[in-house]
Amino acid sequence: MSAIEALYIFDEHNNLLLDHVYTGRPPSPNVLLPLYLAHASPRPSLIYLPNTNPPSLLHSLLQDRLLFLSPCSHDVEPLLVAEFLHRVADALEDFLGSPLLASKIEGSYDVVAQLLGEMCDAGIVATTEPNPLRDVVEAPSWMKSLLGSAGLPSSSPALSGPTSTPSFLPPPPPPPPTSTTAPPPWRRHNVRHTSNELYVDILETLSATFSPSGLPLCASASGTIAFTSKVSGIPDLLLILSAPGGGGITSVFENPVFHPCVRLARWRDRPGELSFVPPDGRFVLAGYGADLLGREYLAELGKGVDPTKAQARLGLPATLHVSTALGSMGDEFEVRLSLNPRFANAKGGAGASAAAFAPSLGTASGGFGGGNGGRPKPLPFAMATKADSANPSLADAVVRVPVPPGVRNLVELKVNRGEAVYAPGDRVLEWRVGQKDIAALLGVGAGVATLRATVVGMAEDEEPADDSGGGMTGMKGETWEYDDAAPMGAYQAASTRKGNEKDMKVAAEQRDAKAVRKNALLMPSEATLSFRVKGWLASGIKVERLSVDTKASRGLGAGVQPYKGVKYLTVSDEGIEVRC
């Protein structure tokens, strides 16, 4: 099966950047683009187009605002094509530099053409690993072109960075005998670096969902270990990871995926130890998922979990709470952002202030508080001895509240910190709390910022007349007295607590009640929180040791001790979601 028939790349204005036909006679890009755009955004990654000639499956990928399309006239595994498109994007990024820009592709069509030719041979996916690609395709090197135009000979291969095909290099300076051994397939030949460096970057993307009562429903982090290796020869590395708690690394490192270079047997026998011969340059060593609540949490949920405690266990840097249908007309809502004092900026006193945050939780009405940072495990304090991870800093907190389509405007937008942005007609209210505000908030100690807004619905004339009887739609809540139901679980009670029927009955005035009911439709149903924390990982994973096995490595040179760096970063990209 020739999986890939053609590859078309469009820039952000949907102009054709490139078309590369691999095999067959696929429909032309001009035909496919309108058909693709005809689908509503977000467009599915696989679309079937019965009306093209031949009828085609259209695979698509949007990366860095570039659109990759690949048509296929028969049934092939869609994941294969999707993965291929990702690899193409990655390879282009690797060769042309990140972020991938249209101008970069336009500037080096010759390189792109060679790459595309190597990556897929007449429809069969061939070489996609960046390192072997470097062996056969020369990366555009600005250094070279600079030197070239200056009329200087670029004789030193080390200068031109990732160099060309080894067989065609000018005779290299007599290599040390050890470096002649051929590397594994994922590693480039003859790697030489003047400065030997190794970097481990662990990035976790946090996602957590909270019920209206503040109870965490799920919380997980998906982690990626990116590794940058700039070491000469063929190094053999050992990376040892550790996790908090007694469960060992496997308790947090769930369903890992590894780069082919990782010795799986070693991991299986001794979890936490990654032994590998890295490719040259930056690559993703492993990916994993971590369930932050533990596997038994769902079972616990049935027995009733205290929301405050559950939140404390999570120890997130920041949490949200949304109250809706406030005010006499029920047209106001409030978002409360609580910061965890442990994530104050790297000041000496930050660690100490962690002990003092307990009183500040007094505001915890409705079981919601300042997002207690004290993990039950002694880990945070153990970490406090280290410089960087001891004072993880929270930054770029952004709260987004999706606004229902019925809302015409938000008025009386009040925030006590940060900056809230909303223009009439927007579908999202954005509230940014910058670095300074965060520092100020945490300095005060309370660590709680609030936003309050009032919704305004569509103009009156668009609504049915008020005297028609039953509000806008639906049935009258008052006549409803269905009694056939089984008792609801505690959770339901909590979640329907905010249901408007009860409020309505309490409401003295019928007119107000009506307004409340009407406004209930205009209330946001969730809010999300984004932020990034440097020097902290939600899962608590740590790099214990990174060592070069000098016996197994080759060509490293005697006594070379590579520089090693470790970085932790936790990101929530609208990952924290609070229902209301």
Of the candidates 13, 51, 194, 303, which one interacts with other proteins according to CB under 8 A? Answer: 303
- Residue 466 beta carbon to other proteins: minimum distance, rounded to whole angstroms: 13
Candidates 241-249, 264-272, 357-365, 379-387; binding stretch for other proteins (CB under 8 A): 264-272
Of the candidates 34, 177, 359, 425, which one interacts with other proteins according to CB under 8 A? Answer: 177
Binding-site string for other proteins from residue 275 to residue 294, where x marks contact by CB under 8 A and - marks none: xxx----x-x--x-x-x-x-
- Number of residues near other proteins (by CB under 8 A): 180
Site for other proteins in 370-409 (CB under 8 A): 402, 404-406
- Residue 381 beta carbon to other proteins: minimum distance, rounded to whole angstroms: 28
Of the candidates 6, 18, 237, 316, which one interacts with other proteins according to CB under 8 A? Answer: 18
- Residue 10 beta carbon to other proteins: minimum distance, rounded to whole angstroms: 12
Nearer to other proteins, 91 or 354 (CB): 91
Candidates 244-252, 299-307, 364-372, 375-383; binding stretch for other proteins (CB under 8 A): 299-307
Q: Which residues on neighbouring strands pair with residue 238, listed in sequence order?
A: 275, 547
Cα 349 to Cα 533: distance, rounded to the nearest angstrom: 18
505: left (phi over 0), alpha (psi -120 to 50) or beta: alpha
- Residue 331 beta carbon to other proteins: minimum distance, rounded to whole angstroms: 14
Nearer to other proteins, 178 or 242 (CB): 178
Site for other proteins in 182-201 (CB under 8 A): 182-185, 189-190, 201
- Residue 575 beta carbon to other proteins: minimum distance, rounded to whole angstroms: 8
Nearer to other proteins, 155 or 385 (CB): 155
Task: Tell me whether strands 563-579 and 197-210 are parallel, antiparallel or unpaired.
Answer: parallel
Cβ atoms 311, 211 nearer than 8 A? no
Site for other proteins in 218-257 (CB under 8 A): 218, 220, 222, 224, 226, 236, 254-257
Cβ atoms 435, 389 nearer than 8 A? no
- Which tokens in the block code for residue 449? 């910022």
Of the candidates 129, 280, 331, 332, which one interacts with other proteins according to CB under 8 A? Answer: 129
Position 299 contacts other proteins (CB under 8 A):
yes
Nearer to other proteins, 414 or 511 (CB): 511
Cα 241 to Cα 221: distance, rounded to the nearest angstrom: 16
Residue found under tokens 């490192």? 253
DSSP-derived secondary structure for 325-356: EESTTS-EEEEEEEE-GGG--S-HHHHHHGGG
Site for other proteins in 459-478 (CB under 8 A): 469-477
Binding-site string for other proteins from residue 35 to residue 74, where x marks contact by CB under 8 A and - marks none: -------x-xxx-x-x---xx-x--xx----------xxx
- Residue 519 beta carbon to other proteins: minimum distance, rounded to whole angstroms: 10
Of the candidates 302, 349, 424, 565, which one interacts with other proteins according to CB under 8 A? Answer: 302
Of the candidates 37, 159, 298, 458, which one interacts with other proteins according to CB under 8 A? Answer: 298
Instruction: Tell me whether residue 306 is exposed, middle or buried, using C-beta atoms within 10 angstroms of its C-beta: 0 to 12, 13 to 18, 19 or more.
Output: exposed
Nearer to other proteins, 13 or 551 (CB): 551
Of the candidates 123, 327, 367, 445, which one interacts with other proteins according to CB under 8 A? Answer: 123
Of the candidates 83, 197, 306, 419, which one interacts with other proteins according to CB under 8 A? Answer: 83
- Which tokens in the block code for residue 103? 């101008």
- Residue 3 beta carbon to other proteins: minimum distance, rounded to whole angstroms: 9
Site for other proteins in 500-559 (CB under 8 A): 501, 517-518, 520-521, 525-526, 528, 532, 549, 551-554
Cβ atoms 212, 580 nearer than 8 A? yes
Candidates 77-85, 239-247, 432-440, 453-461; binding stretch for other proteins (CB under 8 A): 77-85
Residue found under tokens 């223009």? 423
Site for other proteins in 87-106 (CB under 8 A): 90, 93, 96-98, 101, 103-104, 106
Give the list of residues 6+ apart from residue 530 with CB closer than 8 angstroms, or none. 396, 397, 398, 399, 400, 571, 572, 573, 574, 575, 576
Cis peptide before 307 (omega within 30 of 0): no
Cα 490 to Cα 302: distance, rounded to the nearest angstrom: 9
Cα 210 to Cα 217: distance, rounded to the nearest angstrom: 5
Cα 391 to Cα 385: distance, rounded to the nearest angstrom: 10
Nearer to other proteins, 224 or 353 (CB): 224
Q: Helical H runs in 249-391?
A: 249-252, 264-269, 297-303, 307-314, 348-353, 379-383
Position 363 contacts other proteins (CB under 8 A):
no
Cα 547 to Cα 334: distance, rounded to the nearest angstrom: 51
Nearer to other proteins, 61 or 337 (CB): 61
- Residue 294 beta carbon to other proteins: minimum distance, rounded to whole angstroms: 11
Binding-site string for other proteins from residue 200 to residue 219, where x marks contact by CB under 8 A and - marks none: -x-x-x-x-x-x-----xx-
Q: Which of 64, 52, 65 is nearest to 25 (CA)?
A: 52
Of the candidates 34, 51, 151, 194, which one interacts with other proteins according to CB under 8 A? Answer: 151
Four-residue CA torsion sign, 466, 471, 474, 477: negative
Nearer to other proteins, 27 or 380 (CB): 27
Angle between helices 109-119 and 78-96 (to 10 degrees): 150
- Which tokens in the block code for residue 134? 């470097």
Q: Helical H runs in 384-452?
A: 435-444
Q: Which of 310, 128, 75, 227 is nearest to 546 (CA)?
A: 227
Q: Which of 183, 31, 190, 17 is nearest to 88 (CA)?
A: 17
Of the candidates 195, 416, 435, 492, which one interacts with other proteins according to CB under 8 A? Answer: 492
Nearer to other proteins, 244 or 471 (CB): 471
DSSP letter (8 states) at residue 180: G
Position 356 contacts other proteins (CB under 8 A):
no
Candidates 151-159, 341-349, 412-420, 505-513; binding stretch for other proteins (CB under 8 A): 151-159
Site for other proteins in 304-323 (CB under 8 A): none
